Structure 1
Amino acid sequence: MRILLINPNTTEALTERLAASARMVLPPDAELATVTARRGFAYISSRAEAQIAGAEVLSMLAEKAGAFDAAVIAAFGDPGLSAARELFDIPVTGMSEAAMLTALSLGERFAFVTFTPRLAAWYGEQVTRAGLGGRFAGTFTPEDGFSDIRNVAEDLREPLLRTCLTASKTADCIILAGAPIAGLADEIAGGVPAMLIDPVRAAAVQAAGLCRLFPAGASHGSFARPPAKPSTGLAPALSRRMSPPEQN
């Protein structure tokens, strides 16, 4: 089983952090490879940035088409997730969706804890889109700032722990939201009276399971492959994926 972890952020250190966390929970027969966005932003923190990152996700998937059995979009907010499911014939999972689905199996109410209030509104939209507002306890963030996106988990460890304690007063499950804090759940779980969920692990486990249950991914209904049509200016691999056969 070959799983591709796609980091839509351009920071390679985040890719390494995400992959290290995901590998901790994958089955022995799963091989994880990674790819980091070449275009975009060091870390995605707005709707506009996510829209741009989603297009890059599709280009990266098109370049790797046929080489992997499943893919994980490793950015909270799941940029490009629905489009990727529509266009590629493999299971594709996203961190936000997978973490929320996992939370539903572990508790009644869940919350997000993330590292900056700038992300709260956009992250909250993922809950609304999933129709889970009745199970959502809100997004919680520390007041402390950070200087380097590569070191957020280390620099904000204690503030994030305190924030999780606050969130645990109203939530059974806490999703540690955002690629920069992947892997932190293990480090602070003992100090928090709630279930801590690492989104990239949830997405990786889901991808592995879907490989066995539905190896073709979301290939029917509204996620059936859309009709091919000519394009202009797209990355070559993505253009070939979307063009009529006679133009390939």
Structure 2
Amino acid sequence: MTRITVINPNTSVELTDAIALAAREVSGAGVTVRGVHPVDGVPSVESHAEEAIAAVGVLAQVREHQADTDAYVVACFGDTGVQAAREVATCPVVGMTEAALQTACLIAHRFVVVTLPARTVAHSDRVVRALGLEHRCSVVAVDVPVADLVGGSTHLLDAFTDAARTAMASDGAEAVVLGCAGLADLVGPLSEALGIPVVDGVAAAVGIATGLVAMGLNTSRANTFAAVELP
């Protein structure tokens, strides 16, 4: 049995439950998924200050669930706290942003991240540039708060469709990466509307995390992610 712990870095119970449900729907036989979130922190991660606070919560969740986790998925676009979590965790840590972007690379030459709200574009750009993908990936935003995802995201279909179509026309995007956790219910409708593949980062991360465990691979401790002990 492979045990995946999906960490939602914000404190929203509703979003955590929705993210965990979406993760379970794509997990295979022999995989269990648990969704967790910090008890204290921020209700959403939409600024650099909120991201810093949320990263501390991610580390706390990693430390709390070490004994019964085979891999972690961090479900926040921008991969909040992922690098630090890799130093602390005893098993693989997969960020949904990196997972989504790497997955998109396998199915399209050029692609677009459609994120929300507008002020988080820099968070997505950071990961795109860290992976050296700025020549293949553009980032656009639908300017609504993360709180609008509570209860589902299909009401944003028209806005996401318009944003993606603009990128298809201007940048030659051949696939879409959904730039926030909690957007899984947009995958099917958006792909149908656009006629191109749509990648959900949580689903991509669960698949990659499961594969790493199956292959017996863990974070290298040689240098960059050498283990650290926290007080």
Q: Is the 8 A contact 1:76 1:178 kept in 2?
A: yes
C-alpha distance in 1 between matches for 2:38 and 2:144? 28
Matches of residues 1-248 of structure 1 in structure 2 within 5 Å? 1-136=2-137, 138-142=138-142, 148-151=148-151, 153-169=153-169, 170-226=172-228, 228=229, 242-243=230-231
Q: Is the 8 A contact 1:75 1:94 kept in 2?
A: yes
> Which protein has the larger Cα radius of gyration, Structure 1 or Structure 2?
1
C-alpha distance in 2 between matches for 1:216 and 1:144? 37
Q: Secondary structure at the match of 2:41?
A: coil
C-alpha distance in 1 between matches for 2:3 and 2:146? 35
Q: Is the 8 A contact 1:90 1:218 kept in 2?
A: no
> What is the root-mean-square deviation in Å for CA atoms of aligned residues?
2.0
What's the % identity of the aligned pairs?
A: 32
Q: Secondary structure at the match of 1:112?
A: strand
Q: Is the 8 A contact 1:17 1:183 kept in 2?
A: no
C-alpha distance in 2 between matches for 1:179 and 1:52? 18
Q: 1:146 to 1:63 in 2, by over 3 A?
A: closer
Q: Give deviations 1:52-103, integer Å, cap 9, x for gaps.
A: 1111101111011111100100111111111111111201101110001101
C-alpha distance in 2 between matches for 1:70 and 1:122? 24
Q: Is the 8 A contact 2:86 2:93 kept in 1?
A: yes
Q: Secondary structure at the match of 1:133?
A: coil
Q: Is the 8 A contact 2:149 2:183 kept in 1?
A: no
C-alpha distance in 2 between matches for 1:123 and 1:6? 18
CA shift for structure 1 position 117: 1.2
1:234 corresponds in structure 2 to none
Where structure 1 has 5 or more consecutive residues not aligned to the other structure, the ranges are 229-241, 244-248
Q: Secondary structure at the match of 1:108?
A: coil
C-alpha distance in 1 between matches for 2:15 and 2:96? 14
C-alpha distance in 2 between matches for 1:113 and 1:135? 14
C-alpha distance in 2 between matches for 1:83 and 1:128? 19
Whichever residue aligns with residue 24 of structure 1, its letter is E
Count of residue correspondences = 228
TM-score by length of 2: 0.91
C-alpha distance in 2 between matches for 1:103 and 1:25? 17
CA shift for structure 1 position 155: 3.1
C-alpha distance in 2 between matches for 1:160 and 1:22? 21
